[in-house]
Amino acid sequence: MLEVKNLKKRFSSGIFFKSYLDAVDDVSFSIAKGETLGLVGESGSGKSTVGQCVIRLIEPTGGTIMFNGIDLRSLNGRALNRVRPSMQMIFQDPDSSLDPRMTIGQSIAEPFRLKKVARNEVKGEVLRLIEKVGLSPEHYNRYPHQMSGGQNQRAVLARVLAINPLFIVADEPTASLDVSVQAQILHLLMDLKREYGMTMLFISHDLAVIRHMCDRVAVMYRGKIVEQGPVSAVFESPAHPYTRLLLSRTEEAEQSVKQENGSGDAKGCRFRGRCSLARAVCETTEPAFREIGAGHTVACHMTVLPKAEITHE
């Protein structure tokens, strides 16, 4: 369904002198139909930028994005607008997806109207979806500000179902909700995924959530994917020192690296400064991906060491 190769996004900044940041640098992955790929990594590692590039909400600097056989980067204007509805984004904050001037019913009805569904059928369809996402008919005439965050995120999901996209990017879809509601929304997403066979890129810094929601996971560090594989393989035998750090000491790993992110220095491994295994080769040569299990790849010079030796250091 989706094949991303060598994706790159460079942000330029600086008023008096030019500086740049490679927020996404040479990222490649693919997602099969019906599959959910998790994207995990600390704040500032480039997860949202990947998600937004993939559906061309922002313009990538380089790379190719094949979506359902179409080269997305070659499209513009009308051709792009035609593909747009088949890719939807669910944001952390439901308010950014709902029009505050529209009632919940109107928001969910809009995609049906655009698809020219007969007027007298629309209301029935909307009520069916309202029920499907666990809202009730009384929410139909409410405005977003009259709903809770969790209820609004349900409405966003109902709207997404009305659009019926081929592919969804969910960027921390529960991060703004409180813990009990988070679990409900995640369960709802899982149900919908099963029922509709949705294909999804699921962004989260919460490893437990990724493990629950995803088939495969890609771990990002400072703009690069450092390890990728089936959820079971990555969680049970993490191979990259950064993945291990994420899995063991969540707090330290979650420290933002925004300040050290500006990199003109493309040589070597980006993780070497924080890595207890770093050797001379890590200073000079960027590690290439190696396959260490079925569909399980890692970019690290040091994982050739037996596991026991690594964990003792």
List residues near ligand ATP by CB under 6 A. Answer: 11, 13, 21, 23, 41, 43-49, 205, 258, 261
Q: Which does 250 bind (CB under 5 to 8 A by kind): ligand ATP, Mg ion, none?
A: none
Show the DSSP H helices in the chain as ranges.
Answer: 47-54, 77-83, 104-114, 119-132, 149-163, 179-196, 207-213, 231-236, 241-248, 250-253, 280-284, 307-312
Decide whether 158 or 172 has the Cβ nearer to ligand ATP.
Answer: 172
**Torsion-angle region of residue 174: left (phi > 0), alpha (psi -120 to 50) or beta?**
alpha
Closer residue to ligand ATP in complex, CB, 224/301: 224
> Pseudo-torsion of CA 116, 117, 122, 125, nearest 10°?
-130
Q: Of all residues in this chain, which one has the CB nearest to Mg ion in the complex?
A: 48
48 vs 199, beta carbon nearer ligand ATP: 48
Least distance between Mg ion and beta carbon 173 (Å): 12
Site for Mg ion in 48-107 (CB under 5 A): 48
CB of 152 to ligand ATP, least distance (A): 20
Show the tokens assigned to 308.
């026991």
Please give the size of the binding site for Mg ion, defined by CB under 5 A.
1
Cβ 38 vs Cβ 253: under 8 Å: no
d(CA 192, CA 160): 11
Query: Which CB sits closer to Mg ion, 48 or 97?
Result: 48
Interatomic CA distance for residues 204 and 212, integer angstroms: 12
From the list Mg ion, ligand ATP, none, partner contacted by residue 33 (C-beta under 5 to 8 A by kind): none
Which option in ligand ATP, Mg ion, none does residue 261 bind, with CB closer than 5 to 8 A by kind? ligand ATP
Closest CB to Mg ion among residues 111, 173: 173
DSSP designation for 17:
S
Give the nearest distance from C-beta 306 to ligand ATP in angstroms. 32
Residue whose CB is less far from ligand ATP, 70 or 175: 175
Which residue type sits at 16? F
Give whichever of 105 and 173 is closer to Mg ion, judged by the CB atom. 173
Binding-site partner at residue 73 among ligand ATP, Mg ion, none, CB < 5 to 8 Å by type: none
Q: Which of residues 20-49 bind Mg ion (CB under 5 A)?
A: 48
From the CB of 222, what's the least distance to ligand ATP, in Å?
A: 9
Q: Which of Mg ion, ligand ATP, none does residue 205 bind to, with CB < 5 to 8 Å depending on kind? A: ligand ATP
β-strands 167-171, 199-203 pairing:
parallel
Whether 244 contacts 260, CB under 8 Å = no
Q: How far is the CB of 176 from ligand ATP (least distance, A)?
A: 12
Q: Name which of Mg ion, ligand ATP, none residue 173 binds, using a CB cut-off of 5 to 8 Å depending on partner kind.
A: none
Cα angle: 232, vertex 42, 27; to 5 degrees: 70
In angstroms, what is the minimal distance from the CB of 12 to ligand ATP? 8
Copy the structure tokens of residue 290.
């190696």
Q: How far apart are CA 111 and CA 85, in angstroms?
A: 9
Strands 62-67 and 70-71: antiparallel
* Nearest distance from C-beta of residue 48 to Mg ion, angstroms: 3
Interacting residues with Mg ion (CB under 5 A): 48
